[in-house]
Amino acid sequence: MVKAVEKENLSFLTELCYLQMKFVNHLSSDLQKQQLCTDTIGNVSIELKNVANAMQKKRKDLKKTSKYYQGILTFSLIQAGVKTIELSQYTLTGFLVKYIVTNFNYEEISNAICNVLDKKIYQDEKLNSLELTKLLNVYFSINPKTAVYCMKKLILLIQAQQEFQYNNNNSIISFNILNEYSGDEFYKNDNFTVMYCIEKILSVSDKYGLLALESTRDKS
């Protein structure tokens, strides 16, 4: 994902995202198969009960693995979204926003955003690893001076897409997700207002390839 964003390669980013989601779905599919086997065993014998219990434990472990990996994927997508905004890669940003909203629910997106905010958006040991830089031959970093601004724009874009796709306030993340970090000096010093971010987004709305922005612009 780092290399796809740095090289502004939409085809590679698209393929990578779908392969990652395919892996998550594969884990979920295995989980369902384990459930089916457990349900059909019943209470035939002590031996089969033991098998069922073992399968049940395996199913719980598998579920944890699937959710854990899904959380990592969402976190990475949010980071990538911030970086594409920083680089003015509008097409990549539009794809990531649509992909995130389509494949993850309100809670998953909110948790991922909060996790990224916990690291002040740009603080990530994995991204700042010299080994990763040497391996990929690219240096992926998020500019601390524009990190909050880029995150605000990403949240607004996700909001617009959620409203367009679901038309349900219960499924739309609140921009106030940043409020709990208002005491943090890093966020407190940010001077980019919501209206400023909205104006900047709408000024180039056609470049994102999001129908949600066309709908928003018509309303305004």
In this predicted model, what pLDDT tens digit does every residue of 122-131 receive, in sequence order? 877 666 666 6
What is the reported pLDDT for 178?
Answer: 82
What is the reported pLDDT for 129?
Answer: 63
Q: What letter would DSSP give residue 123?
A: -
What is the reported pLDDT for 58?
Answer: 55
Share of the chain above pLDDT 90, in %: 34
Task: Count CB-CB contacts under 10 A for residue 33.
Answer: 13
Give SS3 for 105: coil
- Judged against a pLDDT cut of 60, whether residue 156 lies above it is answered with yes
Q: Which of residues 172 and 50 earns the better pLDDT score? A: 172
- Is the distance from CB of 147 to CB of 120 less than 8 angstroms? yes
What residues contact residue 99 under an 8 Å CB cut-off, 6+ apart? 17, 77
What is the reported pLDDT for 113?
Answer: 94
- Judged against a pLDDT cut of 60, whether residue 59 lies above it is answered with no
Q: How confident is the model over 44-53, as a mean pLDDT?
A: 56
Of the listed ranges 18-32, 93-107, 123-137, the one predicted with least confidence: 123-137
What is the reported pLDDT for 37?
Answer: 46
Q: Rounded to two decimals, what is the model's pTM?
A: 0.78
E strand residue ranges, 63-132: none
What is the reported pLDDT for 91?
Answer: 96
Q: Which of residues 153 and 66 earns the better pLDDT score? A: 153
d(CA 195, CA 206): 18
